Chain A
Amino acid sequence: ETGVTQTPRHLVMGMTNKKSLKCEQHLGHNAMYWYKQSAKKPLELMFVYSLEERVENNSVPSRFSPECPNSSHLFLHLHTLQPEDSALYLCASSQEGFSGANVLTFGAGSRLTVL
């Protein structure tokens, strides 16, 4: 496996379900991100973890709960979501703390549909 891997690729859930999205990066990066991508809207930064500590939480509702057990894995736990939460959830990683571009490498995303 190379790059950033996300599972599942597609998820359909009811408003009362609990599910989790998983992200794994094989790049040795020290920062990981969750972004939300809705149609015709800019990517929205949700959470950032640097060296397994949360450094950004952009006013995301508590029904989204991130977890970063180590520098290679990132989860997004979902609980009592709303239909407007249906979107593509993108995970990304980068190597921060050095001069240069600090390019984000994205996973292919998890397409979430909330019924």
Chain B
Amino acid sequence: GQNIDQPTEMTATEGAIVQINCTYQTSGFNGLFWYQQHAGEAPTFLSYNVLDGLEEKGRFSSFLSRSKGYSYLLLKELQMKDSASYLCAVRDGDYKLSFGAGTTVTVRA
């Protein structure tokens, strides 16, 4: 089966940095995704990593190490609107995207 682990909750202060870790053990690997989901809304795509290394997109960066089965999402210069659930997902075959349970990030003023 697939096993994708991420912390349940994290809290940080406005303007700070938060790093959300994700470890995975899957039968195959064809890319790792991060999605953001605000309460009551659709998950929206944040980032995609298929090769080892860091991908940067503005305030958000995502890192992948395939040999370690490890990724993180880095959120810099936190804003109140970043309070949301962050979902780590691994594509392990055609059409198969397996998700972690999500990390709820709360940003405090």
Contact = CB atoms under 8 A, between A and B. Distances in A.
Contact of A101 (B4, B44, B48, B102): B48
A101 B33 contact: yes
B31 A45 contact: no
A90 B33 CA distance: 17
Contact of B95 (A4, A42, A96): A96
Interface residues of A, number: 23
A109 B43 CA distance: 10
A92 B45 CA distance: 12
A50 interface: yes
B96 A56 contact: yes
A45 B42 contact: no
B99 interface: yes
Nearest to B104: A40
B100 A50 contact: no
B98 interface: yes
A94 to B, nearest CB: 8
Contacts of B87: 43
Contacts of A31: 95
Contact of A106 (B40, B44, B101): B44
A46 to B, nearest CB: 12
A40 B8 CA distance: 8
Contacts of A102: 91
A103 B33 contact: yes
Most buried by A among B4, B43, B89, B99: B43
List the 3 shortest-distance A-B pairs measured between CB atoms, nearest first: A106-B42, A43-B99, A101-B48
Interface of B: 4, 8, 31, 33, 35, 40-45, 48, 50, 87, 89, 91, 94-102
Interface of A: 4, 31, 33, 40-43, 45, 48, 50, 55-56, 90, 96, 101-109
